Amino acid sequence: MSEPRRLLAALTVLLLYLGFCALVMLRARRRHRRSVAPEDAAPALLVAHASQTGFAEELAWRSAELLRTAALPVRVEALGALSSDSLAVAGRALFVVSTTGEGDAPDSAARFLRRVMAGTPDLSRLGFGILALGDRSYARYCAFGRSLDAWLRQCGATPLFDRVEVDDGEEGALRHWQHHLGRLAGTTELPDWEAPHFDAWRLVERRLLNPGSQGGPAFHLALEPIAGAPRWCAGDIAEIGPRNAAEAVAGFLHRLGLGSAEGFEDRLLPQEPEAIAALAGLPPAELRRRLPPLPHREYSIASLPEDGRLELLVRQVRRPDGRLGLGSGWLTAHAPLGGAIALRVRTNRSFHPPEPGRPLILIGNGTGLAGLRAHLRARRAAGQRRNWLLFGERSRGCDFFHRTEIEACCAEGSLQRLDLAFSRDQAERIHVQHRLREAAEELRRWVDEGAAIYVCGSLEGMAGDVQAALADILGTAALKALTDSGRYRRDVY
């Protein structure tokens, strides 16, 4: 068999190379989640509901049930039964509330509105989360959930995560709420209420972005739809249906003394010896029936439909016991190249692009670059050049994801300012919030010009510190005004 002859670089080649580099285009990524340790023994977590026709109440109970399966003490109350004092000492509270009438609170919340929300009690020791039910076809969408949110903040309470709004019972948003419940409960294995209806996509590219990094490996993944031409928008989320590695299934069945059997790749396999022992002797079909399906995972989409592929930036997570994370392990290690990936795009309106004409400030760290990258692409495609990116990672040498592409954006003028914070490249730890403070003057100028601020990345640390920096630079009232007018948006996890 003849080997192809390879012609080594001729004189022309260096010149050509310059033209070659001009052929910049795309690439992608996205994010993942981490489990969070449960907080110290605290009073039972409060789940309060305000419902007109019963949906909010039902969801409150389902949330409580889910948290209890993770052994978290929970109590459920009607919002109308709460007082300022009970809220002040509740520790952590989840509010599941609907909006009715013309943007009104449900009737059952009338007493709470009159007696409690009329004042400004000190709730500085309360951490809260809100699930706001509504319907976009009404002018004042989720109005009660939003005003409850604003009031709680005003009383000094701390959001545990951003308000989740549900348009007409949309399941994707409800799964996103469950994602937050899982974090509160300190587990990532809570079963989905309603399994997403996934489509089949094909994994066409997988690449490690940060060889040699002190942080976890981060991968660029590209997927193509197997059928159709799905649409999505910058800011949207990919819900993934993870699968078990073939070896994990084989190992599990082996421990039960079973040979190979089908149908376990999408089941949650217990790890503890007692849990496995309890399943001994069951025939495979019954065994499968007893195991819950694997829960979904969410990742920010890092590309646009026009790119022809859905790209993600996924950090490979390793659990304390050494196993890879359910979703990230599947995507970054176990799924075979060319193989099918179960995926559904979830519309995430609260992180859609700002209206054209506004300058855009993109702030994020780590895999948060995924969502920001989709926005940057959308802006370039729309000819919107007034963009500013603040990105933080560990080291410039290893963790400057998509560096070539970002630098090309700077060179062509679609990225007018770039601030990088590499925390481990110098003795003191520098993060995006520090860069933000250094650029306070310019930040105010951009905001005066009407800029929107989009934050994507880790909820712990980054999101809170960035928010504090923004509040210091712009003033709390101005930041609140930006929030209310949709000019300050977050996709943090």
Partner 1 sequence: MPRILIPTLQAAPGRPAGDRVQALDGATMGTRWSVRWVGSARPEVLRARIQARLDIVVAQMSGWEPGSDLSRFNRAPAGSWQRLPAEFLAVLDCALAIAAETGGAFDPSIGRLVDLWGFGPRPAPTPGPPGAELLAPARAGGGWQRLRLDVPGGRALQPGGLGLDLSGIAKGYAVDLVAEALATAGVAAFLVEIGGELRGQGMKPDGTPWWVALETPPGEQPMEAAGGEEYVVALHGLSVATSGDYRRFFQHGGRRYGHTLDPRTGWPVEESLASVTVLHPNCMRADALATALSVLGTEAGLHHARRHGIAARFLTREAGRLREHVSPAFAAMLD
Q: CB-wise, 52 or 332, nearer to ligand FMN?
A: 52
Q: Minimum CB separation from partner 1 for residue 24, in Å? A: 4
Q: Minimum CB separation from partner 1 for residue 13, in Å? A: 5
Options 102, 247, 262, 274; binder of partner 1; rule CB under 8 A: 262
Q: Copy the structure tokens of residue 1.
A: 């068999």
Q: Minimum CB separation from ligand FMN for residue 174, in Å? A: 11
Stretch that binds partner 1, among 29-37, 77-85, 164-172, 336-344 (CB under 8 A): 336-344
Q: CB-wise, 142 or 222, nearer to ligand FMN?
A: 142
Options 228, 257, 259, 336; binder of partner 1; rule CB under 8 A: 336
- Is 56 one of the binding residues for ligand FMN (CB under 6 A)? yes
CB 120, CB 155: distance < 8 Å: yes
- Is 142 one of the binding residues for ligand FMN (CB under 6 A)? yes
- Count of residues that interact with ligand FMN, criterion CB under 6 A: 22
Q: Minimum CB separation from partner 1 for residue 337, in Å? A: 5
Q: Copy the structure tokens of residue 61.
A: 């109970």
Site residues for ligand FMN, 15-54, by CB under 6 A, read 51-54
Q: Minimum CB separation from partner 1 for residue 292, in Å? A: 20
- Is 196 one of the binding residues for ligand FMN (CB under 6 A)? no
Query: Which partner from the list ligand FMN, partner 1, none does 140 bind, CB cut-off 5 to 8 Å by kind?
Result: ligand FMN
Query: Which partner from the list partner 1, ligand FMN, none does 54 bind, CB cut-off 5 to 8 Å by kind?
Result: ligand FMN
Q: CB-wise, 404 or 476, nearer to partner 1?
A: 404
- Is 23 one of the binding residues for partner 1 (CB under 8 A)? yes
CB 195, CB 188: distance < 8 Å: no
- Is 3 one of the binding residues for partner 1 (CB under 8 A)? yes
Q: Minimum CB separation from ligand FMN for residue 184, in Å? A: 21
Site residues for partner 1, 201-260, by CB under 8 A, read 202, 204-208, 210-212, 219, 226, 246
Q: Minimum CB separation from ligand FMN for residue 144, in Å? A: 8
- Is 426 one of the binding residues for partner 1 (CB under 8 A)? no
**Apex 400 CA angle, 397 and 402, nearest 5:** 130
Q: Minimum CB separation from ligand FMN for residue 100, in Å? A: 5
- Is 338 one of the binding residues for partner 1 (CB under 8 A)? yes
x/- mask, ligand FMN, residues 118-137, rule CB under 6 A, reads ---------------xxx--
Options 6, 7, 12, 102; binder of ligand FMN; rule CB under 6 A: 102
Q: Minimum CB separation from partner 1 for residue 214, in Å? A: 14
The C-alpha atoms of residue 461 and residue 396 are separated, in whole angstroms, by 20
Cβ neighbours of residue 352 closer than 8 Å, sequence gap 6 or more: 233, 234, 235, 236
Stretch that binds partner 1, among 10-18, 267-275, 370-378, 432-440 (CB under 8 A): 10-18
Q: Minimum CB separation from partner 1 for residue 20, in Å? A: 6
- Is 19 one of the binding residues for partner 1 (CB under 8 A)? yes
User: Pick from 13, 105, 92, 119: which is nearest to 50 by CA?
Assistant: 105
* Contacts with partner 1, residue ranges (CB under 8 A): 1-10, 12-14, 16-17, 19-21, 23-27, 200, 202, 204-208, 210-212, 219, 226, 246, 262, 332-333, 335-340, 403-405, 408
